[in-house]
Structure 1
């Protein structure tokens, strides 16, 4: 080997080790950065001797990353459902717990039984009114939570649409910069880190398929087929609704659907086949338009059953058939054509409410009684108690089963929703665990192991020292030759 060749080898070796040292340093300093992928220096043998630095390579694991995106979207979907159902479960409460729906229903039964047994007791009659008012209020409160959840889901859709649009615009800008750097032969790894972070942001909301295009650019598609980015941006559109009342649906124009590039798309219809189904965005649509309205409908059935049990009560001589009884639809009798939202409108008849000009004695003497009657009369109170405990068939299509008392229906609705919430929470934990497993697998393939990097640094330092020593020896030899 000639001295010039040895010198060339050593100099190129120094360049390679310098590049490796810089990359290792960057790896260590970014070890905790979520979007950072480990770097390495690609080198090859030079035709004229020594080594040539080909560039910086970025660690990737396409199959694991693709699986992680899908798992993250599924986990987000499950988490959104679990959060909403947990809120409903908290509003309903555990049977037997203070303030729970079923507890209030049982208290209503007990209060009217006590009042019917001792009709002369003003205290017990007052307690019966309070129990009726509190039970109606609990149904109102729970129905109000369903309306709040639908409104929150609508607001979540708006936030997610804005976030997706913003991320897509930024990804396209990065695509353009990456194309330019590839053509110029520059390093694109930092830009790819930033782009991958934005892709991950979207993929939790909409499960994505990422397709590579020329010169390092990517195209984005929802897994079920909707285009988001492919040389042009396919923008999402959505109009938020300030308050999503029970009567508002996409069909009647009360709430907005999702529009992509000017065209409406199916999403969140419960069968998983919508063009953008599978992530938190479709979960928000399904909660707003299907899951929560279904729960609200069950509460409407509960309220309607309660109203119908007490209206036109045969034991109350002051009521004609069909007249509003103890429980009313906003003061009126039940109207089967106006069922939606009746749980929000459920009210105790103002005729028995002292705070609204009513009289408590009407619980004993009849809703329409003008004056107080015999304090020992128990027929009306007994009739109300019988109506509450009567076994009535569940409304068709309500999801309830068999025949139940008023309290029985409340207990069944409570049990169904509490079970559903627990199941949703269990599913969310499982799906998050799966996503975490894929995240750990990706980290093992693309993340930075600082111990490993420091060990590599020691090897690079030794190579650097060896190349430097070669240069020093060649320098000494050349100096001796010159001095001959």
Structure 2
């Protein structure tokens, strides 16, 4: 090989070594950066005529296990979905309370029952009468608190849906722009790795909201489809549509048109568990808003309805007529079966027995419709109320409709169902989260290994020094020749 050929080969080696050092430095610096794909320099022998003359840089490869990334994205979506639903039941169970706690809904029923028993034994005591009124007030208040929490969770789900739709729309538009830039870079022979990293980060951002399938296209472009087959990006990005509402009342539903559904490019799309966008946090929030929360509200309404009817029966209190409200009211009025939706958020205490609302405490003993106080030792109404609370009666609505239950066991059964749902979803959420974490760990293991990078850097330094030595030697030889 000639001296000039040796120098040319060494210069190409220096260039390749310098580029390799740059990529290794980038790999080490981004070892913990999410969405970063490890870079490696692709080289081949440079040929001049029939002989090898140095090294030629072909390009930069970005190492990504696409199958593993796809599995991890699906796992992320499942984990987000189950976590959202598990959180709903956890909050619902918290507001209902454990049956063993006096502050729980079941505890409020038990307190009311105990107050009635005590008042029946000592009906002349104003303290015992007051205890019954306060226990009834506390019971009604707990119904309202639980119902408001259910509606709050619906409102929060509605707001999250709006946020998620906005995130997806922005990300899809940005991915479409990156597709164009990546295609241009590939066509011009430039390294698109940084753009590919940005695109992967945006896709990962969407993947927990909607399960994503990435399909490669020409010149580094990609198409995106949901796991259910909906086209999200095929050249142009899809546009999701949704309108959030401020306040949600119990009677507001998707079916009635009071709540917004979801559209894809202007066309309505199913938000059910088998819909084309199902599997991630987005449809989980629709499930909470339109199914889980309304079902919980319906069960609370059923329990409140049962309680009101037990104490609105004229046979219980002879001073009442069929049109009068009992001890528990529907916004201070008698309850009608046609108005069951949302009764748990409207249930209240009859003002006739509330001294704070110009009522008379003795009416809890003598009858809500009584004009004057009766005998101080009269306990018949307290005993009748206690029996009404504990007598098994047919349940008119809800999941226990048709069963004979007393009020206390009905409330305990409701809490048990919520607890069972919470436990089941916690197990599913734990499994989904563990799977997502495991796949993420595998993905990181296949990413940047700093020990390996440092070893490669040592080899690059050695190659750089060797090529520099060749150039130095060639330079010395040329000086000798020129000096002859």
| Mapped partners of 1:170, 1:114: distance in 2 | 69
1:404: how far off?
2.2
Q: Residues 158, 399 of structure 1: CA spacing in aligned structure 2 closer, same or farther, 3 A cutoff?
A: farther
1:292 aligns with 2:302: no
Return the match for 1:113 from 114, 117, 121. Answer: 117
Measure the CA separation in 1 of the matches of 2:35 and 2:470. 40
Distance in 2, Cα, partners of 1:254 & 1:285:
14
1:154 aligns with 2:133: no
Give a deviation string over 1:243-268, Cα, whole Å, max 9, x none. 1111111111110000111100001x
| Other structure's SS at 1:316 match | coil
- Quote how far apart the aligned CAs of 1:480 are: 2.7
Offset from partner CA, 1:399-448 (integer Å, 9 cap, x none):
47843221111111112112222322232122111101111111111x22
- Tell me: CA distance 1:21–1:399, structure 2 relative to 1, closer, same or farther (3 Å): farther
- Secondary structure at 2:100's aligned position in 1? coil
Give 2:88's match in structure 1, choosing from 79, 84, 87. 84
Aligned residue number for residue 30 of structure 2: 30
1:203 alignment counterpart: 207
Q: What is the aligned partner in structure 1 of residue 70 from structure 2? A: 66
Matched, 1:452 2:452: yes
Take 1:313 and 1:325, find their aligned partners in 2: how far apart are those partners?
8
- Extract unaligned runs of 5+ from structure 2: none
- Cα gap change, 1:137/1:396 in structure 2, threshold over 3 Å: closer, same or farther? closer
Q: Counterparts of 2:64 and 2:394 in 1: how far apart (Å)?
A: 61
| Alignment partner, residue 340 of structure 1 | 341
Contact 2:241/2:262 (<8 A) preserved: yes
Per-residue CA shift, 1:40-93, capped at 9, x if unaligned?
Answer: 111111122211111111111110000011000000001111122111111111
Asked if 1 retains the 8 angstrom alpha-carbon contact of 2:102 and 2:111, the reply is: no
Q: Which moved more, 1:393-402 or 1:185-194?
A: 393-402
The superposition leaves residues 86-128 of structure 1 with CA deviations (integer Å, 9 ceiling, x where unpaired) of 1111111112224211111111111111111111111011001
**Deviation, structure 1 residue 475:** 2.0
Distance 1:400 1:472 in 2: 94
CA contact (8 A) 1:312 1:322 kept: no
Partner Cα separation in structure 1 for residue 214 and residue 368 of structure 2? 68
Tell me how far apart the structure 1 counterparts of residues 102 and 156 of structure 2 sit (CA, whole Å): 27
Map 1:268-417 onto structure 2 (within 5 A): 269=272, 272-321=273-322, 323-399=324-400, 402-417=403-418
Contact kept in structure 2, 1:205 and 1:279, CA below 8 Å? yes
- Cα distance between partner residues in 2 of 1:350 and 1:371: 16
Give SS of 1:50's match. Answer: strand
Partner of 2:61: 57
Output the TM-score relative to the length of structure 2.
0.96
Measured after TM superposition, the shift of residue 335 of structure 1 is 1.6
| 2:223 match | 219
Q: Which residue of 1 aligns with 2:136?
A: 132
RMSD: 1.5
What is residue 267 of structure 2 aligned with on the other side?
Answer: 263
> Residue 9 of structure 2 corresponds to which residue in structure 1?
9
Partner SS state of residue 140, structure 1 = helix
1:144 CA drift (Å): 0.7
Q: Does 1:172 align with 2:173?
A: no
Q: Which moved more, 1:208-217 or 1:276-285?
A: 208-217
User: Do the aligned partners of 2:302 and 2:397 also contact (CA within 8 Å) in 1?
Assistant: no
- Whether 2:25 is the aligned partner of 1:21: answer no
So what's the TM-score if we normalise by structure 1?
0.96
Q: Mapping of 1:220-235 within 5 angstroms?
A: 220-235=224-239
Contact 1:313–1:383, Cα closer than 8 Å, also in 2: no
* 2:467 alignment counterpart: 467
SS of 1:46's equivalent in the other structure is strand
- 1:402/1:312 Cα in 2 relative to 1: closer, same or farther (>3 Å)? closer
The total of aligned residue pairs comes to: 480
Post-superposition CA distance 1:157-185 (Å, at most 9, x none)? 11101111111111111111112111111
Cα distance in 2 between the residues matched to 1:313 and 1:449: 79
Tell me the SS of whatever aligns to 1:228: strand
Separation in structure 1 between the aligned mates of residue 437 and residue 401 of structure 2, nearest angstrom: 38
